[in-house]
C-alpha cells in the first residue's frame, strides 16, 4: 500500500513546486484539507451473472502513478455537465481525508473541483478508425491455471461472429474496428492474489498494482503506445467484479491515457462482458431502467447482458446485444443528418430506421428531443431483431430519458414505471421492469410528457423501422404542411384549405333533455334540472335556448354518448313550430316563446322580448299552428 501524499492546500504556487511540498498521510490528518492534482478517471465495476453487483468509482491518478479513490458528490460535477464530462481530464481537487479506508488506497472526499488543461483523451469524444487493444494474459504467482489458450484470445478479438472486431464494426456502422489488436501469452505476476487484494469479493482489488505489474511483465514484448486500450486478463477472480474504464500511465516512455479493462476468467469467457467493459473503455456509462438497478435493461450491452444471453455461444459464452442510440451518439457514430432534433412548437412525422444494421442509408437512426430549460433530453430509437440485436426484448420503439448529471445517464422510459429512480413494490407506478410491454412503444401507443409538452406517438411499423410522430411544444393547429386536407394524428385536428360544404342548414350541438322533444320544438333551460333542457313554457321566456334541429350541417359536442341527448340548433336556418296566439306571423318578424310548450310566436317589439328572442321568421303563418322556417338569432 502506497502512502497518501498530498500537497497542503493553499500553499501550492505552481505545479512544478509540488514535489517539494508533498506531505505524508499523517500530516494530512492535521492539515484537514489538501489539494491533489492529476487525471480524473471513472472506473465501472460489474459483478458475475446473478450477483447484481455494479457501480462506479472515481479515482485520481497523479503524476507519480498514485491512485486516490474519491468520495464524490455528483452535484459538484453539475457545473461541468456531469461526471462524464470530467472523465480523463486533468483536474485539481480540494479534498479532505475521510476516517475509514475505502479500498486499499484509502479514501479522500472531494470538496471542490477545478478543471485543468484539456485531457489527453476526452471522456466523451468521437471514436473512429482502428482502435487496437492489447490483451495481456497475467497469472497470479499462486495460481497455475491457464483458463484459455492464447488462440482463444486471438479469436475473441477476431472479425467473424461473434469476435469483437466483427461486433464493433456492426455496432459502430463501420466507424471503428479493432484491427491491429494483439494478445500476449500467459506470464506470471511477481505476487500472489492476496497481495493484489484479489479476495473474490468487494471492491478490494488493487487496480493500480494489477495494472503496473501486468503491464511490466509484458513490457519487453509490447510497445504500448501502438494501442488505444489494454485488456488485463487474469487467471482467477479479482474482487467482486470485472472492471472497465481508463488509466493515465507512462509506458515505453510515453505518458498516455489508455482505455483499460481488468478481467477475471468469467469476464473474457463471455464476449458480452468484454463488449460491456470495452464500452466503459470508450467512456460509456451504464444504462438502466428508472429503478435504481443497473443490469435490468436488455436493450443495451451497457446494462443487462446475462438475460439476453441464452443460448450461449459454444466458444465465447454470452454474446452482447447492441447499444443504445445515446451511446452511439457519444461516439459520434450517428451522422447529424440522421439524428432528428425537433424544432419547438412543431409536429413532425418521421421514419426511424432500426438502430442495428439499418436497412436504409438515409432514414433517421434516432431522435433527440431536448427537454426545454434543462440539459436533459429524450432519445427515440427503433429496435428490430437483427444481428447483435437478435435477442432484444421486442421489436419496438424504445425511449430513453437522459440526464448526464446522474450515474446512469440513460433511463428507459417505461409506461408502467416511473422516473423517480427507485423501485418501490408494490406500488402502482413502478413495476421495475424496463423490458416489458410498458417499455416497448408499439404502433398506436403514445408517450406523453405533459409537463414538458412532449408527445411521441408510434404510428406504424415499416420494413426496417417505425413511423413516429413527435409533438414538441405547443404547435399551432393546422400548421401548413402543403397538404390541402389533413388529419393530424396526434391532435385529431382536421385541417383543410377549402371550405366546409354541408347539405344541412344549421349548426347544432348535442344537449341533454329532461322530457321527450321533437324536431322544431323551442327549447329552454330546465331550471329544475341543471344541465338539461325542456320545451319552452310561457310567453317571452328568458330561458329560451334554441330549436331542436331537423337536419344539422355541423354537429358539435358529438364525442361520447348521444343517448338522452338531442340536437339543439344554434346557428343557421331551422324549421320551428309556431302559433299565431300573438297575431299572424310575417317574414321578418322576431319570434319568441309562446304560452304553448315548445311553440314560437310573434314578438311585437324587440324591446319587449329582449333576452327572449329565438330568431327571425323567414316564412308566414296566417292562422293557427304550423311549422315555418326561421333564422336563428341571439
Query: Binding of Ca ion at residue 332 (CB under 5 A)?
Result: no
Q: Which of the ranges 20-28, 149-157, 441-449, 541-549 carries the binding residues for Ca ion, by CB under 5 A?
A: 441-449
Which one of 73, 146, 192, 252 is in contact with Ca ion (CB under 5 A)?
A: 252
x/- binding map, residues 443-482, to Ca ion, per CB under 5 A?
--x-------------------------------------
Geometric angle at alpha carbon 201, from 198 and 207, rounded to 5°: 40
Does position 342 interact with Ca ion (CB under 5 A)? The reply is: no
Three-class SS state of 170: helix
- Residue 85: CB atoms within 10 A of its CB come to 17
Closest contact distance (angstroms) between CB of 434 and Ca ion is: 6
Residues 6+ apart with CB under 8 A from 310: none
Single out the residue of 437, 435, 417 nearest to residue 427, CA to CA: 417
Query: Residue 396 Cβ, how far from Ca ion at the closest point, in Å?
Result: 7
Q: What are the residues whose beta carbons fall under 8 Å from the beta carbon of 14, sequence distance 6 or more?
A: none
Least distance between Ca ion and beta carbon 65 (Å):
16
Pairing relation of β-strands 366-370 and 377-383? antiparallel
Stretch that binds Ca ion, among 100-108, 248-256, 263-271, 482-490 (CB under 5 A): 248-256
Quote the distance between the C-alpha of residue 16 and its chain's center: 45
Cell of 184: 500476449
Nearer to Ca ion, 431 or 582 (CB): 431
Residue from 219, 518, 604, 625 binding Ca ion (CB under 5 A): 219
Can you read off the three cell numbers belonging to residue 251? 509506458
Whether the link from the prior residue into 162 is cis, omega within 30° of 0, is yes
Cα-based angle 239, 47, 433 (whole degrees, multiple of 5):
160
DSSP secondary-structure letter at 78? G
438 binds Ca ion (CB under 5 A): yes
329 contributes a contact to Ca ion by CB under 5 A: no
Q: How far is the CB of 435 from Ca ion (least distance, A)?
A: 7
Choices 218-226, 357-365, 457-465, 542-550; region in contact with Ca ion by CB under 5 A: 218-226
- Which residues lie below 8 Å from residue 458, measured CB to CB, with a gap of 6+? 397, 441, 442, 443, 444, 445, 446, 466, 467, 468
- From the list 31-39, 244-252, 278-286, 532-540, the region that binds Ca ion by CB under 5 A is 244-252
User: Based on CB atoms, which residue is closest to Ca ion, 236 or 436?
Assistant: 436
- List 56's β-bridge partners, or say none: 44
Query: Using CB under 5 A, which of 35, 148, 325, 440 touches Ca ion?
Result: 440
Nearest distance, CB of residue 413 and Ca ion, angstroms = 10
**541 is an interface residue for Ca ion by CB under 5 A:** no
For Ca ion, the binding residue among 414, 521, 524, 526 (CB under 5 A) is: 414
φ/ψ region of 438 (left if φ > 0, alpha if ψ in -120 to 50, else beta) reads: alpha
Interface stretch with Ca ion, choices 100-108, 416-424, 554-562, 615-623 (CB under 5 A): 416-424
- Least separation in angstroms between residue 199's CB and Ca ion is 30
Which one of 28-36, 214-222, 262-270, 490-498 is the stretch in contact with Ca ion (CB under 5 A)? 214-222
Amino acid at each position: 500500500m502506497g502512502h497518501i501524499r498530498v500537497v497542503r492546500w493553499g500553499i501550492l504556487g505552481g505545479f512544478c513546486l509540488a514535489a517539494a511540498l508533498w506531505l505524508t498521510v499523517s500530516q494530512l490528518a492535521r492539515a484537514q484539507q489538501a489539494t491533489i492534482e492529476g487525471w480524473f478517471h471513472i472506473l465501472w465495476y460489474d459483478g458475475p451473472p446473478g450477483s447484481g453487483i455494479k457501480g462506479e468509482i472515481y479515482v485520481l491518478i497523479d503524476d507519480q502513478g498514485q491512485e486516490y479513490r474519491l468520495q464524490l458528490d455528483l452535484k459538484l460535477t453539475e457545473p461541468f455537465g456531469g461526471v462524464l464530462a470530467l472523465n480523463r481530464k486533468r483536474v485539481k481537487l480540494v479534498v479532505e481525508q475521510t476516517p475509514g479506508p475505502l479500498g486499499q488506497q484509502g479514501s479522500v472526499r472531494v470538496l471542490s473541483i477545478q478543471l485543468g488543461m484539456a485531457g489527453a483523451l476526452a471522456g466523451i469524444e468521437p471514436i473512429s478508425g482502428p482502435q487496437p487493444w492489447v490483451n495481456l494474459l497475467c497469472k497470479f504467482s499462486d495460481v497455475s491455471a491457464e483458463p484459455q489458450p492464447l488462440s482463444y484470445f486471438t479469436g475473441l478479438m477476431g472479425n467473424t461472429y461473434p469476435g469483437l472486431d466483427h461486433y464493433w464494426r456492426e455496432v459502430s456502422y463501420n466507424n471503428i474496428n479493432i484491427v491491429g489488436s494483439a494478445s500476449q501469452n500467459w506470464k506470471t505476476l511477481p505476487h500472489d492474489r492476496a497481495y493484489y487484494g484479489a479476495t473474490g469479493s468487494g471492491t478490494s482489488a488493487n487496480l493500480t498494482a494489477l495494472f503496473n505489474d501486468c503491464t511490466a511483465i509484458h513490457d519487453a514484448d509490447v510497445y504500448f503506445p501502438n494501442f488505444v486500450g489494454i485488456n488485463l486478463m487474469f487467471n482467477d477472480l479479482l474482487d467482486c467484479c470485472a472492471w472497465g474504464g481508463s488509466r493515465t500511465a507512462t509506458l515505453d516512455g510515453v505518458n498516455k491515457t489508455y482505455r483499460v479493462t481488468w478481467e477475471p476468467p468469467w469476464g473474457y469467457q463471455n464476449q458480452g462482458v468484454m463488449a460491456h467493459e470495452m464500452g466503459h473503455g470508450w467512456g460509456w456509462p451504464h444504462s438502466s431502467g428508472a429503478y435504481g438497478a443497473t443490469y435490468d435493461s436488455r436493450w443495451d450491452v451497457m446494462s443487462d447482458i446475462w438475460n439476453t444471453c441464452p443460448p450461449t455461444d459454444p466458444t465465447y459464452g454470452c454474446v452482447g446485444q447492441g447499444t443504445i442510440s445515446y451511446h452511439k451518439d457519444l461516439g459520434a457514430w450517428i451522422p447529424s443528418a440522421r439524428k432528428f432534433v425537433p424544432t419547438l412548437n412543431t409536429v413532425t412525422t418521421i421514419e426511424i430506421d432500426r438502430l442495428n444494421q439499418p436497412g436504409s442509408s438515409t432514414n433517421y437512426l434516432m431522435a433527440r428531443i431536448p427537454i426545454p430549460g434543462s440539459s436533459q433530453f429524450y432519445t427515440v430509437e427503433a429496435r428490430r431483431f437483427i444481428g447483435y440485436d437478435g435477442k432484444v426484448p421486442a421489436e419496438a420503439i424504445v425511449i430513453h430519458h437522459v440526464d448526464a448529471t446522474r450515474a446512469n445517464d440513460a433511463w428507459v422510459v417505461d409506461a408502467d414505471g416511473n422516473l423517480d429512480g427507485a423501485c418501490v413494490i408494490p406500488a402502482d407506478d413502478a413495476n421495475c421492469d424496463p423490458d416489458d410491454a410498458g417499455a416497448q412503444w408499439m404502433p398506436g401507443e403514445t408517450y406523453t410528457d405533459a409537463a414538458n409538452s412532449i408527445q411521441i406517438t408510434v404510428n406504424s411499423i415499416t420494413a426496417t423501422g417505425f413511423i413516429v410522430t413527435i409533438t414538441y411544444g405547443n404547435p399551432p393547429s393546422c400548421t401548413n404542411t402543403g397538404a390541402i386536407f389533413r388529419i393530424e394524428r396526434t391532435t385529431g385536428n382536421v385541417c383543410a384549405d377549402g371550405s366546409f360544404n354541408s347539405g344541412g342548414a344549421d349548426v347544432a350541438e348535442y344537449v341533454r333533455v329532461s322530457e321527450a322533444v321533437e324536431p322544431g320544438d323551442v327549447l329552454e333551460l330546465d331550471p329544475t334540472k341543471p344541465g338539461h333542457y325542456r320545451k319552452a313554457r310561457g310567453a317571452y321566456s328568458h330561458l329560451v335556448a334554441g330549436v331542436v334541429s331537423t337536419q344539422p350541417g355541423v354537429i358539435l359536442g358529438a364525442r361520447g354518448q348521444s343517448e338522452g341527448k338531442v340536437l339543439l340548433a344554434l346557428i343557421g336556418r331551422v324549421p320551428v313550430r309556431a302559433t299565431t296566439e300573438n297575431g299572424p306571423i310575417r317574414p321578418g318578424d322576431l319570434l319568441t316563446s309562446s304560452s304553448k310548450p315548445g311553440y314560437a310566436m310573434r314578438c311585437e317589439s324587440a324591446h319587449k322580448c329582449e333576452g327572449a328572442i329565438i330568431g327571425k321568421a323567414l316564412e308566414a303563418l296566417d292562422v293557427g299552428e304550423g311549422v315555418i322556417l326561421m333564422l336563428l338569432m341571439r
